[in-house]
Amino acid sequence: MTITLDDVSSILHIPIVGQFPTYEVLSYDEAKDLLIELLGVSETQANEELIESRGPQVRMSWLREVYEQFYIVGSWEFAARAFLMHLLGCTK
């Protein structure tokens, strides 16, 4: 057995017609600004991660660390965002 597009449409109520979603590649500065704004990390942390990952992306291990950091201090909004980004990254 396998999952078909009809299954996706029926179970998840996701339309199966039209074009696939696309995304725009971010610049280094755009990625840094989004990390600071949406994940609540410092500019230093954002710069270090972008340098370590060699571009406008982050590593899964770094997202786990950010999640754990904000979970411990009780910053639930930032912890939830980091967790969801990690979850989406795991399903790619």
Task: Summarize pLDDT for 36-66 with one digit per residue, the tens.
Answer: 999 999 999 999 999 999 999 999 999 999 9
Higher pLDDT, 12 or 46: 46
Q: Band of the pLDDT at 12, cuts 50, 70, 90?
A: confident
Confirm if 67 and 40 have CB atoms less than 8 A apart. Answer: no
**pLDDT value of position 65:** 95
CA angle 58, 63, 67 (to 5 degrees): 155
Contacts of 89 (CB under 8 A, 6+ apart): 60, 63
